Amino acid sequence: MKFNLLPRKKLSRIFIPLGIILFPLFSSFYVVSIYSNDLISNKMSLPVLVIALFSLFLLITGIIFRKTGTDVVKTKLRKPFRYALVVVAALYVIGGYSVLALLYLPGSGFKDWLITTAMTTMNHQYLATWFYDSYDVNIVLANNSVIESGEDTNPNLINFEEANFNQVTYKNEFEKEILTKDEGNDLYKIVEIDRDGLKGKMAVIYDPSHVKLGVSKGTGTSLQSAYGQFITEIASRYNATIAINAGGFYDPDWNSTGGVPHGVVISEGKLIANNVRANSTGGIIGFNEDNKLILARMSAKEALANGIRDAVDFGPFLIVNGKSSFINGNGGWGDAPRSAIAQRQDGIVLLLVIDGRQVGYPGADMNDLTKVLLEYGAINAANLDGGTSSAMEMNGEIITNPRNGNFQAKTRPVPNAWIVVE
């Protein structure tokens, strides 16, 4: 009996496309199933592997059949269309495996970036937990952390008489930008930050005695009754010229009204809150009666005894006594909108807000904040609450570009804000 090879050729036209589509797809699913519990359960690993191997079998068999089958039936596809199919198939395979390599190949850096960035958002932590199990997430967060010096600030390092606004030459462009005041404005100036993928604004406050902590009218201890306010509302309440968000707050399920602050809050020498701390790093971030920024781990009682007039409890501390903290990886906070406060040795205060969650401007990590603040001469600096809370207000208007977890141009109510009053 004569064996007709024609069916092999026909089968190859079915097996090869199926293999090209299914093998990259299910082999990728198999890899994801090993690392993730949320997106694909580990229980599905074996069935997914079987399908991947079967699709590989189809692909190899199709290639063999194509080579051994008789070419009786001519293809009706035109050459340009065939070439286009080859290009699409190549892009599909290369693109799929490139994403897989980004997610799981050691040393790519993408895994650390994705986990640390996603885990600090309100609504998009699933972007990390989809692809990695809790063990991987915890390992990455542990390897991206801020190790503080352990020192408290030394107020004696601040000398208000050092500022020289009549210089002809400057140490660098950043020093010139700080010490060149806007005409007719001796209280502050706004510096635009737009370089190295960072975009935002920094308020330079020449007299730190004008920097206070404003608190929401609804600040309290009950999630049911307490409420935060937008920084524009807090600024209006205190007749402030400038305001940025300050400390963090209790936010179960990421839908609170922002009225219950974390840790210690002191405003105008009065204890506003003395709640449980949120961070393992950082501590008191505040000004004493000498208008010097103090960064220290202390209780509410100790803070008041040490003359702290305005303070929140947050962190991490980025720079203490001119020494930057040791930052593993990106510091564990990923890229996001960020706020920070700092003081130079000459007493000038820096209020920094970096925008994020935008095309070309993902935000800042702890390294970015530290670098910018060191460039502008900060001797003490601390990270403030970030994400959707990060915003800067001036004269009743938001002058930065805040984004919430859904990338919408929104901010949210907060329990307190650093404000600048005339």
In tens digits, the chain (422 residues) has pLDDT values of 444 555 766 777 788 888 788 888 888 888 888 888 777 777 788 888 888 888 888 778 878 777 775 554 455 556 676 677 778 778 878 887 888 888 888 876 888 888 888 887 756 788 888 888 888 888 888 888 899 999 999 999 999 987 888 887 898 999 999 999 999 899 999 999 999 999 999 999 999 999 999 999 999 999 899 999 999 999 999 999 999 999 999 988 777 899 999 999 999 999 999 999 988 899 999 999 999 999 999 999 999 999 999 999 999 999 999 999 988 888 888 899 999 999 999 999 999 999 999 999 999 999 999 999 999 999 999 999 999 999 999 999 999 999 887 778 889 999 999 999 99
pLDDT of amino acid 77: 52
CA angle 12–16–17, rounded 5-degree value: 125
Residue pair 290/343 in contact (Cβ under 8 Å)? The answer is no
Question: What is the C-alpha to C-alpha distance for residues 194 and 368, in angstroms, rounded to an integer?
Answer: 12
Give phi and psi for 240, each to the nearest 5.
-85, 150
Task: Return the sign of the alpha-carbon dihedral for residues 17, 20, 23, 25.
Answer: negative
What's the Cα-to-Cα distance from 21 to each of 17, 27, 28, rounded to whole Å?
Answer: 6, 11, 11
What is the CA 353 to chain-centroid distance, rounded? 12
Residue pair 221/389 in contact (Cβ under 8 Å)? The answer is no
Tokens of 253: 């399920």
Positions of E strands within 297-395: 308-314, 317-320, 323-324, 326-327, 338-344, 349-354, 378-383, 392-394
pLDDT of amino acid 387: 92
What residue type is 135 in one-letter code?
A: Y
Give phi and psi for 228, each to the nearest 5.
-95, 175
Output the pTM of the full model.
Answer: 0.80
Is 388 strand, coil or helix? helix
pLDDT of amino acid 330: 83
Each domain of the chain, given as residue ranges in start order, spans: 6-105, 146-421
Residue 202's nearest CA partner among 359, 343, 407, 357 is 343
